[in-house]
Amino acid sequence: MEALNNTLFLWINASDPSATALLLGRVLANGLIYLFPLYLALSWLRADAAGREALLQGTISAMIAMLLSWAISKAWFHPRPFVVGLGHQYMPHAPTASFPSNHLSFAWSICAGLALHPVRRTAAWILALIALPIAWARIYMGVHFPLDMAGALLTGLVAAAISLPLRGTLIPSLRRCIEPIYRRVFAWPIRQGWAHA
């Protein structure tokens, strides 16, 4: 498995990239991830109760995924490619554990959490596709192995599965607690019709 991981990494990792390719790699590797929390925040402004509960499910799934990712990295430390001298590194990164990818664990756990709710299933698939170039770019730039991304997908799915029992209990209660605060903070945009109450 490790040999396959190394082979796939060397196949994807850039060997003699142009300045444009490196710029694109950096944007995809570090920039696209911000679309996920931005989607959650902006969608809340226009969502109904069911939609907001889906957004909370995605958020809780992401929190669980980050905890799982941390625990996995502590239980089994797998070095990054540049630490073992494999391939080329084009983006600065601390020599922290490689497996699983935190970026993709975060992204795919949000997608998996959203997919538990029919009202956000299409958005979940779109966001999952957006995560693919992030995965590619982080390998291309030399900071992750391909199996780190497979591990991130599994981490995201497990995180969403752990959050599933909360769908009918904690999540509706959490929405009802948050909404009065949201309505006070966003009273003016709500009055203007820019956000839903």
Give per-residue pLDDT as tens, 138-174. Answer: 999 999 999 999 999 999 999 999 999 999 999 999 9
My answer on whether omega of the bond before 180 falls inside 30° of 0, hence cis, is: no
Whether 196 is in a domain gets the answer no
Look up the domain containing 112 and give its range. 34-191
Judge whether 21 lies within some domain: no
Of the candidate ranges 27-31, 109-113, 191-195, the one whose mean pLDDT is the lowest = 191-195
In a domain, 13, yes or no: no
pLDDT given at position 172: 97
Banded pLDDT at 52 (limits 50, 70, 90) = very high
Does residue 56 lie in a domain region? yes
Tell me the pLDDT band of 20, cut-offs 50, 70 and 90.
very high
pLDDT at position 94 is 94
Domain annotation covers residue 186:
yes
CA angle 101, 131, 140 (to 5 degrees): 65
Residue 197 has pLDDT above 90, yes or no: no
State the pLDDT at residue 1: 87
**Segment 41-46 mean pLDDT:** 96
Number of domains making up the chain = 1
For the chain, percent of residues with pLDDT exceeding 70 = 100
**How high is the pLDDT of residue 124?**
98
Of the pLDDT bands very low, low, confident and very high (cuts 50, 70, 90), residue 36 is very high
12 part of a folded domain: no
- 3-class secondary structure for the chain? CHHHHHHHHHHHCCCCCCHHHHHHHHHHHHHHHHHHHHHHHHHHHHCCHHHHHHHHHHHHHHHHHHHHHHHHHHHCCCCCCCCCCCCCCCCCCCCCCCCCCHHHHHHHHHHHHHHCCHHHHHHHHHHHHHHHHHHHHHHHCCCCCHHHHHHHHHHHHHHHHHHHHHCCCHHHHHHHHHHHHHHHHCHHHHHCCCCCC
Count the Cβ atoms, other than its own, within 10 Å of residue 84.
Answer: 12
Q: What is the pLDDT of residues 98-135, one digit of tens each?
A: 999 999 999 999 999 999 999 999 999 999 999 999 99
Residue 88 forms part of a structural domain: yes
**In-domain check, residue 118:** yes
The pLDDT of residue 31: 96
- Model confidence pLDDT, tens digit, residues 4-13: 999 999 999 9
